[in-house]
Chain A
Amino acid sequence: DVKVTQSSRYLVKRTGEKVFLECVQDMDHENMFWYRQDPGLGLRLIYFSYDVKMKEKGDIPEGYSVSREKKERFSLILESASTNQTSMYLCASSSSSGSIYREQYFGPGTRLTVT
């Protein structure tokens, strides 16, 4: 069965802390994505990666960075957390086999609160 896991379901951090959100997929997918979801704003893409060590900015990359050292793992880093980064963070992965526009598989999400 397809599986995307995220390191934490709930996380509380203080302003200025460095925060790591981890995502692991077991489907050998080439593509991985980080979104944030906020009420009234829907899902917005932060960063994505289409290969190991490759990354592309999404629609709202400011304040975030990512790392993909291994194919199965994609990390989102908040260098200095701020209260406006309080949100639900969703990781997803997809295959490029046959088409680059395949369906995405999502993790359960991490609800991050920055105080």
Chain B
Amino acid sequence: SQQGEEDPQALSIQEGENATMNCSYKTSINNLQWYRQNSGRGLVHLILIRSNEREKHSGRLRVTLDTSKKSSSLLITASRAADTASYFCALAGGTSYGKLTFGQGTILTVHP
């Protein structure tokens, strides 16, 4: 099954800066989702963008989707130390009923 490829693998920034994470994939999708995972915990759903949408916002989060380039980006603006976590993109679609395929994640560290 297809898997999203995330870039960068790790990102280290200062509080107040913006953080951008990217996800690329190879086949068609129904939607693309972003999740956050704090160390040693379960994943938390952040945002879902459908294949016919180009941009979506939720608070300090902005997600874009370019289906022609098969890529998505997650932007966290004005980052905080509490944003330190791993971020995963997940692909939904194809022939797999209800299944999501997760990327390997980007580890974000925000220094106070």
Chain A residues near B (Cβ < 8 Å): 4, 31, 33, 35, 40-43, 45, 48, 50, 56, 58-59, 88, 90, 92, 94, 96, 99-109, 111
A109-B40, A111-B40 known; A100-B45 Cβ under 8 A: no
A103/B42 in contact, CB under 8 A: no
Known: A41-B104, A101-B30. 16 other contacts (CB 8 A): A40-B104, A43-B43, A43-B88, A50-B97, A50-B98, A56-B97, A58-B99, A59-B1, A88-B40, A90-B42, A101-B93, A104-B45, A106-B35, A106-B44, A107-B42, A109-B42
Interface residues of B (CB under 8 A from A): 1, 3, 30-31, 33, 35, 40-45, 48, 88, 90, 92-93, 97-105
> Provided the pairs A41-B104, A103-B33, A103-B48 are in contact, do residues A4 and B42 lie with their beta carbons within 8 angstroms?
yes
| Contact B102–A43 (Cβ < 8 Å) | yes
- Work out how many contacts link A and B, with CB atoms closer than 8 A: 61
